[in-house]
Amino acid sequence: MSSLDMTDGEKSSFRVIVADDDGQIRRRMSDFLKDKGFEVEDVTNGKSLREKILAWKPHFIVVDLMLPDGNAIDIINFTKTQETIKDLNMKVLVTSGHNNAQNVR
């Protein structure tokens, strides 16, 4: 089901975490999702993201490829291996401020 097919009530109960150490990007993404009706929390680093994932059990995570204390691959592995959340099938969208694939490597 796409967000276009979701009712306002479904959106308001759909939890999203935005994780980015760049404050401007994090705020813009969070504000955009809130304006669309989603429930949003944001964090600045991998430690806070892991804690928020365990406590809040989001449906969707938007995470910067590189965080100050880890990376998005670590987070994906975390969501798939933690006993209390691994069966929730959380979706993860990885973002990057880099403009080409070579810079991401």
For the segment 48-65, what is each residue's pLDDT rounded down to a tens digit? Answer: 999 999 999 999 999 999
Is the pLDDT at 68 greater than 80? The verdict is yes
pLDDT for 82-101, tens place per residue? 999 999 999 999 999 877 65
Specify the higher pLDDT residue, 12 or 27.
Answer: 27
pLDDT for 70-86, tens place per residue? 999 999 999 999 999 99
Mean local confidence (pLDDT), 27-38: 98
User: Which positions ≥6 away from 51 have C-beta within 8 Å?
Assistant: none
The pLDDT value given to residue 49 = 99
Is the pLDDT at 25 greater than 60? The verdict is yes
Sketch out the chain's domains with CATH numbers: 8-104 (3.40.50.2300)
